[in-house]
Amino acid sequence: MAEESANATGEPRPEQEHPNALRAYETLGRFLEEDGWYPQTIEDKHAYRIYYRGKNGELRCFAQIRMDYERIIIYAIAPVKVPEDVRPSVAEFITRTNYGMHIGNFELDYSDGEVRYKCSLDFEGEVLTNTFIRHIIYPAVQTMDKYLPGVMKVAFSALTPVEAFQEIEGQG
């Protein structure tokens, strides 16, 4: 019986160490199915790959439960990588955009040019509900979709970070 409660290395399985996080992962999966996201399980992670077709592009997304911390993290990823020579300008644009954000934030991976928007929630000791999931997944994808044209214009045209930000915020 002890073998069944441990993994191949003899360590306890995540469901024994983190039953609340496992329930959250199951809740997340059900929510994504019922809400029409068509989730794909990511092997060896407590995460799902999902897609969102917005007004400005199709986003690849990840919905993950961090078992060790009882956190849910949603990533909405821009459909293109930012070229190395314009990463500083895109970083300025997302820094301007992040300032004042209430839920989530943009991130830029300087090593490969990936831009993503992240929303997360610490639910340690609490039940993760569909309402909590909805309140972080939709802001993530909708915010990335809203600001994606700015990322694209700064990365691939002559718009400055300030101009792109002002255009999206209706100040330009």
Q: What pLDDT does residue 3 have?
A: 41
pLDDT bin (cut points 50, 70, 90) of residue 126 is: very high
- Tell me whether residue 7 is in a domain: no
144, part of any domain = yes
Q: What total number of domains does the chain contain? A: 1
Domain-located, residue 101: yes
Question: Is 103 within a domain?
Answer: yes
Note if the pTM is more than 0.85: yes
Is position 4 within any domain?
A: no
Q: Give the residue-averaged pLDDT of 123-143.
A: 98
CATH number at residue 43: 3.30.1460.70
- pLDDT tens by residue, 1-58: 344 444 555 555 555 679 999 999 999 999 999 999 999 999 889 999 999 999 999 9
Is 63 in contact with 47 (CB distance < 8 Å)? yes
Give a yes or no: residue 1 inside a domain.
Answer: no
Question: pLDDT, tens digit, for every residue of 57-97?
Answer: 999 999 999 999 999 999 999 999 999 999 999 999 999 99
User: So what's the pLDDT on residue 123?
Assistant: 97
- The answer to whether position 3 is within a domain reads no
The answer for residues whose C-beta is within 8 angstroms of residue 120's C-beta and 6 or more apart is 71, 72, 73, 74, 104, 136
- Range of 117's domain? 14-168
CA distances from 14 to 9, 48, 50, 121 (A): 13, 17, 23, 19
